[in-house]
Amino acid sequence: MNSKGKSLVVLAVLVIAAALFSVAAFFGVNSNGLLSIRDIKLGLDLSGGVSIVYEAQKEDVTDDEMATAVSLIQRRLDRKGWSEAEAARQGTNRIRVEIPGVEDAEEAINELGKTAQLQFLTEDGTVVLTGAEVEDARKEVGKVSKDSASEPYVSLKFDAEGTAAFAEATKNNIGKPILIVMDEDVISSPVVQNEISTGECMITGSFTGESAEDLASLIREGSMPFNLSVIEMSNIGARLGANALETSTVAAAIGIGLVFLFMLLAYRLLGFAADWALCIYLALEIIIISALNITLTLPGIAGVILSVGMAVDANVIIFERLKEEVLSGKTLRVAVKSGFSRALPAILDGNITTFIAALVLYFMGTGTIRGFAYTLMIGIVVSMFTAIVVTRLIIKGFIGLGLTSNALYGIKENKKEAAEKKFNVVKHRAKYFALSIVLIACGIVSMAVNGVGGKGIFNYDIEFTGGTAITVDMGKEFNNDDVAAVCEEVTGQSNPQIQKILGTNEVSIKLQNIDSETRTALTEAFINEFGITKDNILSIEDISATVSGEMQQKALIAVLISCAAMLIYITFRFSDFKMGVSSILALCHDVLIMLAFYAVFRIPVNNSFIAAVLTVLGYSINATIVIFDRVRENKNMGERLSNEDLVDISVKQTLRRSVYTSLTTFLAIGAVYVCGVNSVKEFALPIMVGVISGMYSSIFLSGSMLYMIKKDK
């Protein structure tokens, strides 16, 4: 078979692959839509789920006991794989648990398990010790007696207090059983043979490997300070509103369509190849998210958007390299090979660095952070494959068919541009740094003014501060937007969380803390606006934050470790610690710009805030690495250049890439901002600001920082 025939076969296979993957992604592989976009589990913000309210079966519950109970339930939700679920205190002695992607509340209660109150009792019922004195619990497999076969059991290790108590109990009860009780159920009653003073024992019984691991996990989580009873369970609608999913989907489609159009106009046949590869990428991304049973939330969508941006970025890097090779005098066929080869280091470095950060965030983060990291890691792997392998096969197929005219690929020689090597970034660095300092200073001043004025340095949303939960029986069908409008008018708060309790005419409303006067005003407004009575106001209670101080601390630690890991990788890969430091400084700049934007414009700081910041971090580090990769290459070319010229030339050579990638990402997220509901707009707008900031820092600051560090300035 000749070259033209092989090219036709390759392109035909890729057409079929794109068609099959697209059909699977949008319609599924069976009548139930398996592996399709319809099969993806959606989070509380986009689709809703189930709501369960527990009540503590104890009088005079303390704040510490309630905080412990909430923390234990949240950890159990994470262990069960419901990483996007939330647990929060409601009122004085209740805990509300909301779980996405579940339709049967009773099934969720059974899955969530018991309260893990572990006690060791003597025959007369005296409590020897509780789960609080258990230091560790592990599933083991082995012989529990001389003549028995190997079987699963749970090994326990006590702390010092527990060791002493257990030693005393076993010493006084030789020949008698000690009952091991979990939530009032006797799970084991071993007879004491002798005193156990080592601080270790085993729980035996008819365990399977899975049940032994489940029990060990429950015990490791600690002992619940009281029993819980379920007093309410219901299905709830999307937190972002009934239209959030539909509008976000349409917006995402428009944004991706704009990206496709831009690539086609900018790169002609190359752009068509990129769009073809991106179609395969998007279909594979949907199929994998569905297959892995990932719960997709707004932050998860941010991870997808960032990986789409990186997929486009990889293609832009390749195309710009390819054009350089052609303009240097090489044929298109040779230019494709060398262009891909020279683009590969920058693509790998940018994607690996971001992947490392995502990996750290996945293992150390919780909830929405893990969702963001999960989708980002998947997107990075798939986007690299489609950009490096699929795009290359398509372009080589075009060339094999005889499509070799430079004009078809948007390559036009511009001798004036080719001769213009200088781009005075370093020379004018003082202006660029001054602009950044002014913007960041505005943020600091705004934080100070709002902090002193009692408004708080940031506009923290319910997830971070807790607030007020109101349940209202509307008496008839209602529109979420109408309810939100009344809440906004009375309280002055933007975007209250409005969730319909499915199967009823009830609505759950969550607001930032409101005082008794505002509660009364809101009650009267509902009565006047919707024709209900005071009896229809079913409850008004305080609720705690769903993003606890522990979770905030973990998020901060995860980000810091991610930065450290990126610094180590960049230093190792570029053999230059100063490049690593410059990259991290550029990241710090972009985070400060984001914080300033949130402070000045009082954008609510919620779960989406974390995802927005992480998105900008991933975007920024990738942009900076592309420039530093060119600095490294130019340095190794043998031409003696000053540090200033080295930076200026490298920034100039990568300028189109920096602008184009920023523009395509801006188009994608901009469509979400224009078409989305208000809560989605508040998520998209800071990312748009971050994209601009990331482009600015990579072009005008990162290289200058490197220059100054090398000059010890």
**Is residue 74 in a domain?**
no
Task: Output the pLDDT for position 149.
Answer: 82
**Is residue 68 in a domain?**
no
- CATH code, 377: 1.20.1640.10
What values do phi and psi take at 505, rounded to 5? -105, 25
Burial class (CB in 10 A: 0-12, 13-18, 19+), 126: exposed
**Is residue 530 in a domain?**
yes
Q: With the CA atoms of 38, 609, 700 and 633 taken in that order, what torsion angle do they form, in degrees rounded to the nearest 10?
A: -50
What values do phi and psi take at 712, rounded to 5? 60, 40
Of the three residues 528, 543, 558, the one that is the final residue of a domain is: 543
Note whether 615 and 305 are within 8 A (CB). Answer: yes
- List, in sequence order, every residue forming a beta bridge with 179; answer none if it has no partner: 121
- List, in sequence order, every residue forming a beta bridge with 127; answer none if it has no partner: 121
Burial class (CB in 10 A: 0-12, 13-18, 19+), 444: middle
Q: Which of 112-116, 152-156, 201-205 has the highest mean pLDDT?
A: 152-156
What values do phi and psi take at 639, rounded to 5? -75, 130
Q: Which pair of tokens denotes residue 561? A: 């470790």
Q: Which pair of tokens denotes residue 161? A: 């207090």
State the pLDDT confidence band at 679, using cuts at 50, 70 and 90. confident
Question: Rounded to whole angstroms, how far apart are CA atoms 490 and 524?
Answer: 10
State the pLDDT confidence band at 452, using cuts at 50, 70 and 90. very high
Per-residue buried b or exposed e for 251-285, using 16+ beta carbons within 10 Å of the residue's own CB: bbebbbebbbebbbebbbbbbbbbbbbbbbbbbbb
Clarify whether residues 316 and 337 are in a common domain: yes
pLDDT tens-digit readout, 386-400: 999 999 999 999 999
Of the three residues 205, 223, 241, the one that is the final residue of a domain is: 223
Note whether 483 and 475 are within 8 A (CB). Answer: no
Task: Output the pLDDT for position 681.
Answer: 82
Hey, is 100 helix, strand or coil?
Answer: strand
Task: Output the pLDDT for position 416.
Answer: 47
**Is residue 228 in a domain?**
no
- Please determine, for residue 608, whether its predicted confidence score (pLDDT) is greater than 80: no
Do the strands 295-296 and 41-42 form a parallel or antiparallel pair, or are they unpaired? Answer: parallel
Mean pLDDT of 242-251: 76
Do the strands 94-100 and 118-121 form a parallel or antiparallel pair, or are they unpaired? Answer: unpaired
Clarify whether residues 368 and 438 are in a common domain: no
Note whether 587 and 690 are within 8 A (CB). Answer: no
Question: Rounded to whole angstroms, how far apart are CA atoms 4 and 412?
Answer: 26
**Is residue 529 in a domain?**
yes
Q: What is the DSSP letter of 294?
A: P
Note whether 492 and 636 are within 8 A (CB). Answer: no
pLDDT tens-digit readout, 426-441: 999 999 999 999 999 9
pLDDT tens-digit readout, 195-226: 899 999 888 777 888 888 877 877 776 667 78
pLDDT tens-digit readout, 266-315: 999 999 999 999 999 999 999 999 998 888 887 777 778 778 888 888 99
What values do phi and psi take at 610, rounded to 5? -60, -45
Do the strands 151-158 and 295-296 form a parallel or antiparallel pair, or are they unpaired? Answer: unpaired
Task: Name which residue leads in pLDDT, 327 or 596.
Answer: 596
**Is residue 91 in a domain?**
no
Note whether 669 and 306 are within 8 A (CB). Answer: no
**Is residue 299 in a domain?**
yes
Note whether 584 and 566 are within 8 A (CB). Answer: yes
State the pLDDT confidence band at 693, using cuts at 50, 70 and 90. very high
Clarify whether residues 610 and 533 are in a common domain: no
Task: Name which residue leads in pLDDT, 80 or 707.
Answer: 707
Clarify whether residues 503 and 564 are in a common domain: no
Task: Output the pLDDT for position 10.
Answer: 92
Note whether 396 and 585 are within 8 A (CB). Answer: no
3-state secondary structure 31-83: CCCCCCHHHCEECCCCCCEEEEEEEECCCCCCHHHHHHHHHHHHHHHHHCCCC
Question: Rounded to whole angstroms, how far apart are CA atoms 203 and 205?
Answer: 7
State the pLDDT confidence band at 242, using cuts at 50, 70 and 90. low
- CATH code, 520: 3.30.70.3400
- Please determine, for residue 113, whether its predicted confidence score (pLDDT) is greater than 70: no
Domain that holds residue 380: 3-28+31-39+249-416
Count of CB atoms situated within 10 Å of the CB of 211: 15
Task: Output the pLDDT for position 713.
Answer: 59
Q: Which of 2, 102, 14 is nearest to 52 (CA)?
A: 102
The mean pLDDT of the chain is 86
Place of tokens 């943020």: 443
Share of the chain above pLDDT 70, in %: 96
Which helix (H) or strand (E) covers residue 639, if one does? none
Clarify whether residues 345 and 272 are in a common domain: yes
Clarify whether residues 146 and 217 are in a common domain: yes
Of the three residues 543, 566, 591, the one that is the final residue of a domain is: 543
Please give the radius of gyration of the chain, using alpha carbons only, rounded to the nearest integer: 30
Note whether 281 and 311 are within 8 A (CB). Answer: yes
pLDDT tens-digit readout, 70-98: 888 887 787 777 878 889 999 889 999 99
Clarify whether residues 499 and 435 are in a common domain: no
Clarify whether residues 412 and 533 are in a common domain: no
Annotate 148-206 with DSSP letters as a single string: SPPEEEEEEEE-HHHHHHHHHHHHHTTTSB-EEEETTEEEE-PBP-S---SSEEEE-SS
Share of the chain above pLDDT 90, in %: 34
* Helices and strands, counts by H and E, the chain: 23, 17
pLDDT tens-digit readout, 318-352: 999 999 899 888 888 899 999 999 999 989 988 89
Task: Output the pLDDT for position 307.
Answer: 81
Question: Rounded to whole angstroms, how far apart are CA atoms 446 and 598?
Answer: 10
**Is residue 242 in a domain?**
no
Q: What is the pTM of this model?
A: 0.80
What values do phi and psi take at 195, rounded to 5? -65, 135
Task: Output the pLDDT for position 667.
Answer: 87
Clarify whether residues 406 and 429 are in a common domain: no
Question: Rounded to whole angstroms, how far apart are CA atoms 411 and 339?
Answer: 14
Clarify whether residues 637 and 559 are in a common domain: yes
Clarify whether residues 383 and 424 are in a common domain: no
Mean pLDDT of 535-547: 88
Mean pLDDT of 353-376: 82
Question: Rounded to whole angstroms, how far apart are CA atoms 394 and 399?
Answer: 9
Mean pLDDT of 157-161: 90
Q: Which pair of tokens denotes residue 26? A: 């949008």
- CATH code, 218: 3.30.1360.200
Question: Residue 542: which residues within 8 A CB-CB, separation 6 or more?
Answer: 90, 91, 466, 467, 468, 469, 513
State the pLDDT confidence band at 422, using cuts at 50, 70 and 90. low
Q: Which of 655, 171, 109 is nearest to 425 (CA)?
A: 655
Q: How many domains does the chain have?
A: 4
Indicate left, alpha or beta for 231 from its phi (over 0: left) and psi (-120 to 50: alpha). alpha
Question: Rounded to whole angstroms, how far apart are CA atoms 82 and 38?
Answer: 19
- Please determine, for residue 616, whether its predicted confidence score (pLDDT) is greater than 90: no
Clarify whether residues 570 and 645 are in a common domain: yes
Length of the chain counted residue by residue? 713
Note whether 468 and 543 are within 8 A (CB). Answer: yes
